[in-house]
Every structure is written in structure tokens, then in C-alpha cells.
């Protein structure tokens, strides 16, 4: 037999893929099978991180490798956050995600990667605990659910997506008032200036909403914002591996 029976094709990764889901209406049976795959990803993520302690999620560019000027400061910042006792979650890919996972290992806490199956984001070698995903939205839930703070390293479209999702969830009371930190003043200051000059000025959101985003270059300031949470959670400083 050269082609699989229809039920097997319906269960294939291609048939239940995110691309096919977003391509438009499908049969009810196919939509149900797709929901089952989505549910499986959520369950796998919940089970994988259920017994892991409080985390901070680092987002950042996959294209800024070890030779990039942002790599080493990102690594050092993640190490200092890990030394507070927080586990570190990233997207598990290369670039600044790798830098943050590397810093987590050096800081002595769990280095977690919620990876996605796209060709330019292969898992990095500093991930201790990998949770693989196909659906972006399932991955995004896991990157938020177990975190008590969000550090946005310099990044591209994915980092911007995560930034505005986190701030929107806080704005709409779907997420607690956790720190949202833009790390890299030179990189992010133009964005913050535009948010202030255009959407804020025209009333699209309030000054309180914008104030939830903290822009800094200072590692000490990041630690100052996260330290009270570490104390409330009774975290203990980690030692290096």
C-alpha cells in the first residue's frame, strides 16, 4: 500500500500541524484530532514543570550568537538571577536563549528550554530540562505559567510578541503584577520612546500600563526588582555547578 488509510493520515503530524489548523476550516473529526494533539502538548508541559520551583523567563534573539556583544552580558545577567534561587526558562534555542540557559547552569539552578520545532531554533547544549512543542501558543503558555518575572533581552518578532503578551495579560488582570524588564537600553529605548510618544499620547493605553515595562542596562537594578519576589517565595541562593 503506497498511501496510508485516511484515519492514519488524519493523525499525522502534518495533518494536525499548526499550519493546517490556521489554514481555515477543516472537517469536525480532523479538528477534534488536532485538539487532542494540542491537549497532549499542554499536558506534557504541565507534567514536566509541575514539580520545578519558581522560574524567571528570559526571551531574546536566536540570531545573536556567542560572538555578539549582547551574548556575554545576557549570560552574566541570567547567572545572577539564577543565584537568587530562580530556575531559568527560555525558548531553548540558540543565540541569547543559549546565553540565558548557560548563565542558569553557571548560577546553579535548573536550565529549562521550551523548544519549538522550527529549523532555525535547534535546542542549545545548556538546557538541562527540555520540553518540546509544536504549537506556538501552547509553548507561550508554559513560558508564562511557571514564571515570576520576564526579562526581555534584545530580540526580534518573537521577543516583541512575548513582551506585549505579558504586558497585556497583566493589564487585563489575567496575570499577577510580575516584573517585565527590557534589558538593553540602547536596543529598546527607541521602542519605549515610540510607545510613549504615539500610543500613550493618543490614549491607546495609560501611563500605568507603560510603567509596567522597566527599561535598564543595570544588572543590579534587575536583581533589585526580582529579589523581593525571591524573598517572598523563600528561595535560597544557589551555588554554581
The Cα–Cα gap between 153 and 156 comes to 10
> Are the beta carbons of 81 and 223 closer than 8 angstroms?
yes
Task: List Cβ<8 Å contacts ≥24 apart for 10-13.
Answer: 13/134
The pTM score is 0.92
User: What is the per-residue pLDDT across 136-191, written as a single tens digit (0 to 9) for each?
Assistant: 999 999 999 999 999 999 999 999 999 999 999 999 999 999 999 999 999 999 99
Name the residue ranges covered by the structural domains of the chain: 6-43, 54-232
User: What is the per-residue pLDDT across 44-58, written as a single tens digit (0 to 9) for each?
Assistant: 999 999 999 999 999
Write down the H helix ranges in the chain.
6-11, 18-21, 28-49, 71-83, 96-107, 136-145, 157-171, 185-195, 207-211, 219-232
Architecture of domain 54-232: 3-Layer(aba) Sandwich (3.40)
Amino acid at each position: 500500500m503506497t498511501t496510508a488509510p485516511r484515519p492514519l493520515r488524519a493523525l499525522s503530524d502534518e495533518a494536525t500541524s499548526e499550519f493546517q489548523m490556521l489554514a481555515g476550516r477543516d472537517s469536525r473529526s480532523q479538528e477534534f484530532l488536532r485538539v487532542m494533539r494540542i491537549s497532549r502538548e499542554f499536558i506534557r508541559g504541565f507534567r514536566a514543570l509541575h514539580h520545578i520551583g519558581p522560574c524567571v523567563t528570559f526571551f531574546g534573539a536566536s540570531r545573536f550568537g556567542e560572538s555578539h556583544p549582547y551574548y556575554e552580558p545576557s549570560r552574566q545577567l541570567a547567572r545572577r538571577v539564577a543565584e537568587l534561587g530562580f530556575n531559568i526558562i527560555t525558548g531553548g534555542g540558540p543565540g541569547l536563549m543559549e546565553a540565558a540557559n548557560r548563565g542558569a547552569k553557571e548560577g546553579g539552578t535548573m536550565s529549562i528550554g521550551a523548544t519549538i520545532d522550527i529549523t532555525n531554533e535547534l535546542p542549545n547544549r545548556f538546557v538541562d530540562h527540555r520540553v518540546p512543542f509544536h504549537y506556538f501558543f501552547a509553548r507561550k503558555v508554559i513560558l508564562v505559567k511557571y514564571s515570576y518575572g520576564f526579562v526581555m533581552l534584545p530580540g526580534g518578532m518573537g521577543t516583541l510578541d512575548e513582551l506585549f503578551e505579558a504586558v497585556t495579560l497583566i493589564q487585563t488582570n489575567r496575570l499577577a503584577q510580575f516584573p517585565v524588564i527590557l534589558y538593553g537600553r540602547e536596543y529598546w529605548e527607541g521602542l519605549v520612546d515610540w510607545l510613549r510618544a504615539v500610543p500613550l499620547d493618543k490614549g491607546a493605553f495609560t501611563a500605568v500600563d507603560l510603567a509596567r515595562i522597566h527599561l535598564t542596562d543595570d544588572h543590579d537594578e534587575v536583581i533589585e526588582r526580582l529579589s523581593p519576589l525571591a524573598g517572598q517565595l523563600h528561595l535560597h541562593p544557589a551555588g554554581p555547578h
